[in-house]
Amino acid sequence: MLIGESGSGKTTTLNMLNRLIEPTAGRIAVDGEDVLALDAVTLRRRMGYVFQGAGLFPHMTVKENIAVTPKLLGWPREAMAARADELLELVRLAPQDYRDRFPRELSGGQQQRVAVARALAARPRIMLLDEPFGALDPLIRDDLAEDYRQIHNTLGLTTIFVTHDMTEAMLLGDRIAVMKDGALAQVGTPNELLAHPADDFVRALIETPKRRARRLAQVLAVGP
């Protein structure tokens, strides 16, 4: 999980991983390979990317959106259709109801599910998610986040997930990287962060979920 305030460099960092933004200095390695040594287009086709606000192509159907990267990679038509249906099942949208719809005919949550399916289409091992569920209603958001965590586990993915919500980060993340002013403030598991916050900023950030957890515990203890 990449977390930090707006302007702290979360999205920039994420975008440098698949070279949507070129780093001006330093080295980025993916599986030990320097990304600058790879072809940017090939690199992007090997990673799934879920954009803030879905970023679906409005002139393509759900099926065409999902199959876009496989198509760029030259998959046969039947394989693309089968993959689209398989992924729609995975993100819990009934293929026969959704595959031929256009993005404008879907709700925000459904669009985001399609965006996840599109990112997974070419079987990447690395997924980049940029505040994917930020703009959604809390209920739908939790639902989606849970579903995604499941997919992540089932497929054995490496996911870099950008968020500004520490609660979300703690609930979903294996490791959390806290960013401040373009630099890493601390990297660790949720427990390490809770136990040993590196500085006041990290301490302040984890205060929110802690306070929420205490309040929630009190409410639940009193009972209905």
Partner 1 sequence: MSGFDEAWSYLPAYLGAHVLLSMSALLLGIAISLPLAVLAARLRWLGGALLGFAGVVQTIPSLALLALFYPLLLALSHFTTETFGFGFRALGFLPALLALTLYSMLPVLRNTVTALAGMDPAVKMAARGVGMTPWQSLTLVELPLAAPVIMAGVRTSAVWVIGTATLATPVGQTSLGNYIFTGLQIENWAFVTFGVVAAAALALVVDRLLALAESGLVLRARGRIFAAAAGLVLVVGASLYPMLGNAGHRVVIGTKNFDEQYILGKVIADRLASAGVASTQRDDLGSSVIFRALAAGDVDVYVDYSGTIWTNAMKRTDNPGRKAVLDSIAQWTARTHGIRDLGPLGFENAYALAMRRDRAAALHIHDLADLANHAGELRIGGDFEIFSRPEWRAVERAYGLKFAARRQYQPNLMYSALVSGDVDVITAFSSDGRIARYGLTLLADPRGALPPYDAILLVSPAHARDAAFLSALKPLIGAIDLKTMQQANLMVDRAEDKQTPQQAAHWLEGRIAR
Nearest distance from C-beta of residue 156 to partner 1, angstroms = 22
- For partner 1, give the closer residue by CB, 69 or 186: 69
Query: Which parts of this chain interact with partner 1 (CB under 8 A)?
Result: 18, 20, 41-42, 44-45, 49, 51, 53, 55-59, 68-69, 72-73, 102, 118, 122
Q: Which two tokens stand for residue 125?
A: 């091992």
Nearer to partner 1, 47 or 179 (CB): 47
Minimum Å distance from CB 145 to partner 1?
Answer: 21
- Supply the minimum distance, in Å, between the C-beta of residue 170 and partner 1: 27
Q: How far is the CB of 159 from partner 1 (least distance, A)?
A: 15
Nearer to partner 1, 55 or 108 (CB): 55
CB of 62 to partner 1, least distance (A): 13
Residue (129 or 206) nearer to partner 1, CB: 129
Instruction: Give the nearer residue to partner 1 in terms of CB position, either 101 or 180.
Output: 101
